[in-house]
Amino acid sequence: MAGSPYASALGRLRPEFPSFLGKEMFQTLLAARDPGELAKLLETTPYAADVARARTTHPGPTLLEVAINRTFVRRCRHAFEATPFAGRPVVAAYLGRWDVENVELILSSKAQGRAVGETEDFLVSSREIPAGLYAGVMTLDDFRQLLAEPTLDSTVTALVRYGYGAAVLPLVEAFQRTRDIFPILHALDRQYYRTVLESARFFQGDEWVVRELVASEIDLRNILLLLKGKQAELPLDAVVPRWLDGGTIPNSRAGELYAARTVPELADHLVRQFPSIGEGAADFAEAGSLRGYEVALQRDRAVAELKRLLGYPLSLAGIFAYLLRSELERADLRKVAFGKLYGLPHERLAPLLVSLRL
């Protein structure tokens, strides 16, 4: 193992783990009175430089979103550059998720008629560099050209040159009839997960960690799909077409799980895989909200995946442990930022943060 090509990656990334925000810092951030005070607190953390830069161009509510995304993208770039040559195709395919997120944001904005400037502020990018640049083929100028397209139809057509045409073009006619953007977004997600799983076929011998990580994410999304369908009292045949393949829970088991009479009963069937899922029952009983279930699922997955990934540091696992920590921190900071923007109290925000339980 001393000759592992990942020894250098470990040496470059391990010193960066202490830069992730700890539980005490998140408690401090939760105590901020408003987004302005939250931004000032972040200036005492590794986010300081990006907060300062964003302040010069985004003095309003988008300052935090821009700064958080920029720090996140720099971390993605650092992880990609630390990856040995043999592992880069897998890491690149995984990081393509941020190209897809940006494309989905643009398409959703087109469907809702949002302004170009309003949408661009929320692209996952850093100082003119989108996160997916290190994984895909799209630059920030490409995203701007998509934003400049006059309609969703023309935007979808423009996506052909970036490899997304086959997934979305057949769905444009249905969108014109129904104005339902979900099938297009779902097709992009399916293509993304299929691409990552194909890239993680066994070659070097350590790609299995990526397959497990992606499969657990797919499981989480499919479980949320079942919970939302059960809450909305949808029939099984309306839910199954939205299932994502590639997880550890097969499509064939969806019917068995969905046979549960209620949302809490469905959640009970998943306790073995997600021990904390029952914590969501109180929120559901009180307000009919699935948020508690979602946070519990995210937390259990994060704890299990980080424990597994950190157990194999001299492999792709070390790279993906760093990427997963980066993703979790970004997600939690965005929750805090939006919570402060809308005036949510500390006691409502704290339970939503995965980082407080890692």
- Mean pLDDT value of segment 324-352: 93
The sign of the dihedral angle between the CA atoms of 286, 288, 290, 293 is positive
* pLDDT confidence band for 47 (50 / 70 / 90): very high
Q: Which segment, 207-211, 265-269, 340-344, is predicted with the most confidence on average?
A: 265-269
* pLDDT confidence band for 62 (50 / 70 / 90): confident
pLDDT for position 128? 42
pLDDT for position 117? 53
Q: Which residues contact 111 (CB under 8 A, 6 or more apart)?
A: 152, 175, 179, 181
Per-residue pLDDT reduced to its tens digit, 127-161: 443 444 444 457 777 878 888 888 888 888 888 88
* pLDDT confidence band for 91 (50 / 70 / 90): very high
Checking if the pLDDT of 306 tops 70, the result is: yes
Per-residue pLDDT reduced to its tens digit, 201-251: 877 778 888 999 999 999 999 999 999 999 999 999 999 999 999 999 998
For the domain 207-311, what is the CATH code?
Answer: 1.20.1690
Local structure of 125: helix, strand or coil:
strand
* pLDDT confidence band for 321 (50 / 70 / 90): very high
Of how many residues is the chain composed? Answer: 358
pLDDT for position 127? 40
Domain borders along the chain are: 207-311
Q: Whole-structure pTM over 0.85, yes or no?
A: yes
* Distance between CA atoms of residues 345 and 308, nearest Å: 34
Per-residue pLDDT reduced to its tens digit, 97-116: 988 888 888 888 888 776 65
Checking if the pLDDT of 126 tops 50, the result is: no
Checking if the pLDDT of 121 tops 70, the result is: no
* Distance between CA atoms of residues 145 and 141, nearest Å: 6
**Residue of 117, 154, 2, 86 lying closest to 316 (CA atoms):** 86
Among 16-30, 31-45, 100-114, 326-340, name the one with the lowest average pLDDT: 100-114
- Other beta carbons within 10 angstroms of residue 190's beta carbon come to 17
* pLDDT confidence band for 165 (50 / 70 / 90): confident
Checking if the pLDDT of 166 tops 80, the result is: yes
More confident residue, 323 or 154: 323
Checking if the pLDDT of 336 tops 70, the result is: yes
Checking if the pLDDT of 357 tops 70, the result is: yes
Q: What is the DSSP letter of 244?
A: P
